[in-house]
Structure 1
Amino acid sequence: MGLGALLLVLTLLLPGRPSSSAFAWTAFRDPAGVTCEALSYNNTSLRCSWEALRPATVRLHLRQKGELGANCSSREVRSGRGPSWVLMDSCPSACSSAAEETPMELEVEAGGNGGQHQRLSRSLLWRDLVKPAAPEGLWAHQEERSGQVRLRWAPPGSWDRPASFFPLRFHLHLEYFGNLDKGLLQDLYSDRLEETTEPLRPHQILRRAKVRCQDPVTGSAWGPWSGWALPSEATPLP
């Protein structure tokens, strides 16, 4: 079990309530409760989200683990049923490099209208939380004579520099026109900011393209897709 896994789930027994109903009460749809993400290694906040089964007051406390662990930030949210999220300030002393050794700890307490409580505790390493935002400025162009498709894009604006120290892997998804406008799909993977490719079949016409990215060093989750980019007739500046 990794450090980012759930470490403790505790449902409090309340006076005058049978244990069967107390242990049956849970606030979150996902057993892990709350999931946190960061847009980059140098970001100063975490986006923590959850899916609530029922209305509850959710309190979140983030602190640095260890004997001298400091309290970093706290939030209290009145959550209804469905998805909710909140921004948490990160710990100032948190190391965000691959050599990170001291984790942060997130404590979550959910309270129901009837006095029920659920508590969860998770250890978090920053490198496990990084999920890059969508790449920007995707440009696509198909050469009229050769049919080659040229693509260019930029890293997310929130991503760390220099790129040589904070590399990204990109996943491009291309859709071509087909019979009855049913798209034919092509997937490309790249460590660069531009690619040239051939259509899947001769004389295919590019319909649209999109791109997403991940951190290849830590094998982070893939970030969200960019919006669809339509083929451009103009040639971009170098």
Structure 2
Amino acid sequence: MTTRSPHTVNEVMTSTVVAVGLDAQFKEIVSVMRQWQVSAVPVIEGEGKVVGVVSEADLLPKEELRDTAPMMIEQQRRLADYAKAGALSARELMSSPAITVPATATLPMAAHLMARHRIKRLPVVDETGTLKGIVSRGDLLKIFLRRDDELADEIRHDVIDRLFPVSRRSIHVEVSKGAVTLTGTVRDPALVPVAARLTQAVEGVVDVNCLLTSPITGPAGAASAAPEEAGTAR
């Protein structure tokens, strides 16, 4: 059985993306950002290979440092900012190499890159580094808009049916606003935390309340349940 999660960047990215060339001038870049209402643009060369990114942070030093007469020590401390304050083209302004993400990357991978580099969006590229789209923080959150019935169906088929081929008919999956509740009786108690973990890993799940139980016998309350048949998730 094919597992439908995890989803990839290709499924949530914006395919229509504005970019500038290496020779794009300062005023042109500002105009493009304003027109498209974005805070950063990829810089491309040739047939669309991403070589850098110009963000608002790269442009602001020109205004911030316009009338300053800093001491030499201040110039040394902010050498990159002073260089960008005098830059005129994307070639001089861009941050390079660009932090990009492949279209085949999972959403957690993209989120990790954004968090690690403290950026709001990533150019999406193919195996040759050619620009294919852009993915933002907002795009990554789209996955939480999945319908409850869609989530329940995926959990039923990709978690419950695989983990509990014998007990699956006694297990109920309820989803409300992305929060999942699992109830019912299973034969193997060791698989209960596995079910909770795999359910939480389904893209779009907000929370998991795992109430699965198993038959308990014996003087010490030890579980004496027969293991589930073949089909346990790997």
TM exceeding 0.5? no
Q: Whose strand proportion is higher, 1 or 2?
A: 1
TM-score, normalised with respect to structure 2? 0.26
What's the TM-score, normalizing by structure 1?
Answer: 0.25
Larger helix proportion of the pair: 2
